Amino acid sequence: MIRLDDGSVLPSILYYHRVSPGVSPEVGVTPEVFRSQMMFLKSSGLQGISLAEGMKGGSPKESCVLTFDDGYLDNYEYAAPILEEMGFRATIFCVSDRLGKLTDWSEDPEWKGVPLMAEEEVCDLSSRGFEIGSHTRTHCDLGRLSRTDPLQARREIFDSRMELEDLLGTPVTSFCYPYGGWTETAIQWVREAGYHQARSVQHARWGKTYETHLLPCRPVSGKMPFWRFGWYARLWRLGL
C-alpha cells in the first residue's frame, strides 16, 4: 500500500509498458504472462482498478492500481481484453501528440518505431471504462525540459490534458512523468493544470509517505519472476 503525506492510504500501483507476443522482456510481457499475473491478482482477492478509482478510497487491501505507460497499440489489442475478462480496469497514459503514430522518443531498437493507439482506440477504451491519463504531448523529460525550456515544459503538461479532454469529452485527471523526470516546478505545473494525481517511476518504500502528485509504483516487465509478482501480491493483500 501507499501512505500519503495526509495520512490516507492508497492501493499499491503496478506499471506496465507493452503486452505483446514475442515482446522483449526488457520492455514488456507476453499476453500469456500477463493473463497469469491478472489471474493471480484475482485469485488473491485483489481487484484491478484505475488510478482515479484508487484515489477515491475504499479498501486498499482489496485492490491494486494497474497503469500502462505510453499508450501502445498492443495495450488495446492484448491487455484490455484480458483485463475485461477478469473484470478489471486500468489507467493508460497516452502521449497526446503521438496518437496513431510510431514511437520516436528513443533510438533503442526495443523502443523505437512501436505503434501507438490512434484516437479511435483511445476513445473506445475510455467508453469501456478504462481511464485515459496524460503522458505529456511528446514524451518529453520534464526533469530536463523544465530547466532548459520552462515554457515548452509547461505547454507539454497543460496542452496534453486539453487535447485529450477535447478528444474524449471527459475530464483527464491523472498524469504520469515520462522517464520519471520531474522538478518541483514541474510538479507545481501538474497541479495547476488540474490533474488530481500523478504517478512517478520511483519505488514505494516501507515507512515513507508520498504526495498525490508524485506517487510511487512497482514496475512489471518480462524480467520479473512470477514468484516475485506473487510475493508482492500477497504483501498487498496483507496491507503491506
The full DSSP string for 77-101 is: IIIHHHHHHHT---EEEE-GGGTTS
**Total domains in the fold of the chain:** 1
How, if at all, do strands 9-10 and 2-4 pair? antiparallel
In order of 3, 43, 169, 180, 213, the CA distances from 198 in angstroms are 15, 29, 20, 11, 4
List, in order, residues 6 or more apart from 58 with CB less than 8 Å away: none
| Structural domain includes residue 236 | no
The secondary structure of residue 115, as a DSSP letter, is: B
pLDDT for res 230: 87
Amino acid at 83: L
| Structural domain includes residue 180 | yes
Name the H helices within 11-108: 31-43, 51-54, 73-74, 80-86
In terms of Cα–Cα distance, which of 164, 168, 214, 217 is closest to 189?
A: 214
The CATH number given to whatever domain includes residue 191 is 3.20.20.370
| Structural domain includes residue 97 | yes
Cα–Cα distance for residue pair 12/218, rounded to 1 Å = 8
Cα–Cα distance for residue pair 161/167, rounded to 1 Å = 10
pLDDT for res 240: 59
Model pTM above 0.75: yes
Residue 178 domain boundaries: 2-230
| Structural domain includes residue 239 | no
Cα–Cα distance for residue pair 39/239, rounded to 1 Å = 20
- Cβ(173)–Cβ(190) below 8 Å: no
The per-residue b/e assignment along 51-82, b for 16 or more CB within 10 angstroms, e otherwise, is bbbbbeeeebbebbbbbbbbbbbbbbbbbbeb
| Structural domain includes residue 235 | no
| Structural domain includes residue 237 | no
pLDDT tens digits, the chain, 240 residues: what are they? 888 999 889 999 999 999 999 999 999 999 999 999 999 999 999 999 999 999 997 677 799 999 999 999 999 999 999 999 999 999 999 999 999 999 999 999 999 999 999 999 999 999 999 999 999 999 999 999 999 999 999 999 999 999 999 999 999 999 999 999 999 999 999 999 999 999 999 988 877 899 999 999 999 999 999 988 988 887 777 665
| Structural domain includes residue 199 | yes
pLDDT for res 239: 62
Cα–Cα distance for residue pair 139/103, rounded to 1 Å = 9
- Cβ(106)–Cβ(114) below 8 Å: no
Amino acid at 238: L
Cα–Cα distance for residue pair 45/218, rounded to 1 Å = 19
Cell of 19: 503486452
